[in-house]
């Protein structure tokens, strides 16, 4: 019996129970490759066109009134209206859903959350974290059609549908974090098998508070046709991720569901189902073994320990994004830099936002890909905020073309990717988008969502946050006490100063180790970016979008305020060329020989540029910065060993603009007891205390 079988007149094409569809077979062979849902549009009893899962032959929601059913089963029977209304300032409530499907449950929850926040000012800093899993995500075109129909049936959902569709990720495995800042809502969509995804949720009991799920939405298709969502592995994860008084709700009263919930420590109760349905299940975790320091068995889940003020040392992209992530969680941030925001490697006129690619079957555990997609979404959201503040756009979404001269992926592997993330253009298309005429562009990687980040605009936007206070301070000492942390340093005008806070995050890049001896002394790689103002004739012949080869080049028009940071001419076009790599050199003088290196890289890769790029580089401008890199190339993100209040985020290498936003989210979640958007294994790879960082560089 399928989930809402009675409301459908035709489910004839449904695969037989437990028979595997082609999609399921492909998924079983390569668990990290996502198979999009195959939506079968059918007609229900009342003549409505309804989406049916081609994989499971079941409907996504009841067509009698799916929205009302969602509110009854999942919202009301997890007591969400009352529980959300009672949240304390800064408290986070976490929901986990099995089966994202069309997102209807999310939309219903979001609407409830907005209503409560509108009515209750004390919820202003409370947060909602909605974690959902999906193995067969619905392609955006189908989802758009489905949600447009919902918008017509339930106009109260329309204001949530558009932002959801805008943020909907490309269909690749792994965690996709979507932020809806206005509502203090974070949605993590884990694409892949639910048991695997839940298994990746990090519960590090050494960090206090420790995250846990407050409410479960068990919304698989009926157990008879969707056994994997009701399997022992799922219930084992539910037990691992729950605490006393965690609740669960499901429309299903199947025997296996009841037994499994009881076996994993839930007390179950049958209650009246929605509409004509006789019954449904609610459950409360009552396993005393799950009580811990934070959550007593009486259900008095402790509030996150009082944290109100964090010091962030270093105002490059790492420090700025960390400050932003914390401030959006209600934490007051003192952001410090020994000179000024963006004084270090982050202060280039523009940064290219482009991922280092990997074969698709590795993508779910690939920080560059996850980070690139998240940064992309975040910068686009921040563009709107920047516009409101009269600040230049943060991301200019130009797209980018990689000529695959120095790439770790070939066209066959690129073809595995969804086109909206990465694809290969035909030679003619590539010539059209790039403006190159004589180049053989048969092999290429086109990144439609890539673009140029304007660091100055990003900084200006972040510093408008009322909870972020920037101060110039060269920090010289950090001392951690039982109840606080205190830093000392010197300010250009005021001399020696000390500041106390609940936590400190060190984002001082290659200088970080000077602030604490537990911090690894990273490799330092000098890099210089060069630029010049082309003549109108040259400009017309320059590449039309950013290009990657053994280096990269991009045209940009300097915006108001860019000249505070770099020698550019406001309103004029510039060509940016990058970048040199010089190991163990921390000088930041601008060198003609490195201008020359960047010119040579460009004209060697694209000979038609030889006659266009001036040979006289004496008028070129440049900026040198120091990249910070670990021996295993992973950034460093996490809490220092034997510390409760000292955290580190550093070693962004050559990709800080793609990596820092997701790393900052992960760090802020670890600090405040929420689930990070990175797997346990990934967090171990990023840990400041990992084995590889125990041996100094020689
Ligand atoms: C030439 C070049 C080109 C690049 N191009 C790109 C690109 O196109 N795309 C991309 O994603 N990445 C690019 N990168 C890499 C990127 O710039 C870095 O990954 C990123 O800037 C690292 O940011 P961060 O905040 O960790 O470090 P930084 O930006 O170096 O910031 C560290 C800050 O800490 C401050 N600080 C240090 N010690 C103290 C102290 N004791 N007290 C107070 N403050 C302190 C410093 O003043 C500095 O402002 C490039 C790098 C270089 C050098
Ligand atoms: C009933 S639908 C969910 C409806 C959804 N909650 C909504 O609001 O539209 C069940 C979903 O579970 C997904 N699913 C099935 N097996 C899965 C698995 N093993 N892991 C993750 N998702 C799975 C299906 O693809 C489907 O989208």
Q: Compute the distance between CA of residue 333 and CA of residue 324 in angstroms, rounded to an integer.
A: 9
Of 597, 629, 661, the residue that ends a domain is: 629
Look up the CATH number of the domain holding residue 593: 3.30.9.10
Neighbours of 564 (CB within 10 A): 12
Question: Do 313 and 247 have their domain in common?
Answer: no
Please check whether residue 601 lies inside any domain of the structure. Answer: yes
Give domain status of residue 118, yes or no.
Answer: yes
User: Which 3 state secondary structure label does DSSP give 474?
Assistant: strand
Asked whether residue 463 falls in the same domain as residue 591, the answer is: no
Strands 185-191 and 127-134: parallel
Give the residue from 585, 610, 629 where a domain finishes: 629
Residue 348 in contact with ligand 1 by CB distance below 6 A = yes
For residues 518 and 693, is the Cβ–Cβ distance under 8 A?
no
Q: Does the residue 591 lie in any domain? A: yes
- CA atoms of 156 and 110, how far apart (whole Å): 11
Point out the residues of the chain with pLDDT beneath 50: 1, 5-19, 21, 23, 299-303
Do 78 and 197 belong to one domain?
A: yes
Tell me what pLDDT residue 303 has. 47
Alpha-carbon gap, residue 509 to 344, rounded angstroms: 9
**CB neighbourhood size of 270 (10 A):** 12
CB 474 within 8 A of CB 493: no
> Are residues 550 and 613 located together in one domain of the fold?
yes
In a domain, residue 332? The reply is yes
Q: Is the beta carbon of 502 within 6 A of some atom in ligand 2?
A: no
Q: What is the pLDDT of residues 222-245, one digit of tens each?
A: 999 999 999 999 999 999 999 999
* Distance (Å, whole) CA 580 – CA 556: 20
**Three-state secondary-structure class, residue 669:** helix
- Position 57 in a domain: no
Sole residue written with tokens 């802020």: 668
Q: Three-state SS for 532? A: strand
Residue 37 in domain: no
Domain check: are 240 and 120 in the same one? yes
pLDDT for the residue numbered 297: 52
> Does 74 reside within a domain?
yes
pLDDT score recorded for residue 33: 93
What are the distances in angstroms from CA 108 to CA 117, 154, 155, 529? 14, 10, 12, 48
Predicted pLDDT of residue 27: 54
Q: Which of helix, strand or coil describes residue 547?
A: strand
- 3-state secondary structure at position 596: helix
Residue 177 exposed, middle or buried by CB count within 10 Å (0-12, 13-18, 19+)? buried
Q: Which domain holds residue 121?
A: 62-290
Binding site membership of 511 for ligand 2 (Cβ less than 6 Å): no
Q: Are residues 95 and 237 in the same domain?
A: yes
539 and 617 fall within a common domain: yes
Measured in Å, residue 41 CA sits from the centre of ligand 2 at: 17
Q: Indicate which ligand has the atom closest to the C-alpha of 489.
A: 1
> Do 212 and 144 lie in a common domain?
yes
pLDDT of residue 11: 35
Residue 28: the pLDDT is: 56
Q: CA-CA distance, 26 to 21, in Å (whole number)? A: 9
Nearest atom within ligand 2 for CA of residue 59: 1
pTM (whole model) above 0.75: yes
Q: For residue 475, tell me if it sits in a domain.
A: yes
Note whether 552 and 687 are same-domain residues: no
The CATH number assigned to the domain holding 266 equals 3.40.50.150
Q: Which ligand 1 atom lies nearest to the CA of residue 657? A: 11
Number of domains observed in the structure of the chain: 3
Are 217 and 147 found together in one domain?
yes
Domain match, 551 and 412 both = yes
Q: Are residues 546 and 612 in the same domain?
A: yes
CA 354 to chain centre: 15
314 Cα to the center of ligand 1, angstroms: 9
Ligand 2 test: best mutation among 51, 134, 173, most atoms within 8 Å of CB?
A: 134
């Amino acid at each position: 019996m399928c989930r809402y079988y009675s409301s459908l007149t035709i489910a004839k094409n449904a695969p037989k129970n437990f028979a595997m569809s082609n999609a399921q077979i492909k998924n079983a062979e390569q668990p990290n490759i996502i198979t999009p849902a195959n939506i079968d549009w059918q007609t229900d009893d009342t003549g409505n066109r309804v989406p049916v899962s081609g994989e499971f032959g079941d409907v996504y929601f009841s067509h009698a009134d799916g929205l009302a059913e969602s509110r009854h089963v999942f919202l009301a029977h997890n007591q969400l209206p009352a529980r959300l209304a009672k949240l304390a300032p800064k408290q986070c409530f976490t929901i986990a859903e099995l089966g994202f499907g069309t997102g209807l449950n999310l939309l219903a929850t979001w609407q409830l959350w907005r209503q409560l926040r509108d009515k209750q000012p004390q919820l202003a800093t409370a947060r909602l974290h909605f974690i959902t899993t999906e193995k067969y995500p619905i392609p955006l075109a189908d989802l758009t059609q489905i949600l447009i129909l919902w918008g017509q049936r339930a106009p109260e959902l329309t204001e949530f549908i558009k932002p959801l569709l805008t943020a909907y990720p490309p269909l690749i495995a792994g965690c996709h974090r979507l932020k809806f800042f206005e509502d203090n809502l974070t949605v993590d969509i884990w694409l892949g098998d639910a048991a695997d995804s839940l298994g990746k949720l990090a519960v590090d009991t050494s960090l206090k508070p420790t995250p846990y799920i407050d409410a479960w939405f068990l919304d698989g298709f009926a157990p008879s046709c969707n056994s994997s969502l009701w399997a022992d592995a799922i219930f084992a994860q539910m037990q691992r991720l729950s605490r006393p008084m965690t609740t669960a709700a499901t429309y299903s009263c199947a025997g296996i569901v009841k037994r499994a919930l009881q076996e994993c420590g839930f007390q179950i109760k049958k209650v009246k189902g929605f509409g004509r349905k006789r019954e449904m299940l609610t459950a409360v975790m009552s396993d005393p073994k799950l009580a811990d320091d934070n959550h007593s068995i009486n259900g008095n889940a402790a509030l996150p320990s009082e944290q109100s003020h964090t010091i962030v040392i270093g105002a490059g992209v790492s420090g700025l994004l960390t400050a932003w992530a914390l401030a959006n969680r209600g934490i007051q941030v003192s952001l410090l830099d020994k000179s000024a925001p963006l004084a270090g490697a982050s202060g280039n006129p523009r940064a290219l936002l482009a991922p280092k690619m990997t074969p698709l079957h590795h993508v779910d555990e690939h920080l560059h890909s996850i980070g690139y997609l998240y940064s992309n979404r975040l910068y686009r959201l921040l563009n709107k905020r920047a516009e409101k503040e009269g600040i230049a756009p943060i991301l200019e979404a130009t797209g980018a073309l990689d000529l695959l001269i120095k790439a770790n992926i070939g066209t066959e592997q690129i073809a595995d990717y969804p086109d909206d993330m990465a694809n290969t253009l035909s030679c003619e298309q590539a010539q059209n988008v790039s403006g190159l005429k004589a180049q053989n562009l048969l092999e290429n990687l086109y990144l439609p969502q890539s673009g140029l980040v304007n660091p100055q605009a990003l900084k200006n936007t972040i510093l408008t946050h009322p909870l972020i206070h920037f101060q110039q301070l060269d920090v010289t000492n950090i001392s951690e006490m039982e109840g606080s942390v205190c830093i000392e340093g010197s300010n250009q005008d005021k001399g020696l100063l000390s500041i106390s806070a609940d936590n400190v995050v060190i984002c001082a890049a290659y200088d970080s180790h000077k602030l604490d001896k537990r911090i690894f002394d990273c490799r330092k790689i000098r890099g210089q970016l060069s630029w010049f103002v082309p003549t109108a004739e040259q400009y017309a012949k320059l590449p039309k979008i950013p290009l990657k080869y053994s280096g990269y080049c991009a045209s940009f028009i300097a915006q108001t305020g860019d000249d505070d940071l770099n020698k550019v001419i406001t309103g004029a076009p510039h060509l940016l060329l990058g970048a040199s790599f010089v190991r163990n050199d921390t000088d930041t003088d601008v060198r003609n020989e490195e201008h020359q290196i960047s010119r040579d890289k460009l004209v060697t890769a694209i000979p038609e540029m030889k006659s266009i790029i001036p040979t006289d580089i004496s008028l070129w401008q440049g900026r040198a910065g120091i990249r910070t890199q670990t021996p295993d190339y992973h950034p460093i993100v996490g809490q220092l060993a034997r510390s409760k209040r000292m955290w580190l985020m550093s070693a962004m290498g050559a990709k800080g603009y793609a990596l820092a936003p997701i790393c900052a989210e992960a760090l802020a979640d670890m600090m405040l007891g929420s689930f990070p958007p990175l797997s346990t294994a990934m967090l171990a790879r990023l840990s400041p205390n990992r084995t590889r960082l125990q041996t100094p560089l020689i």
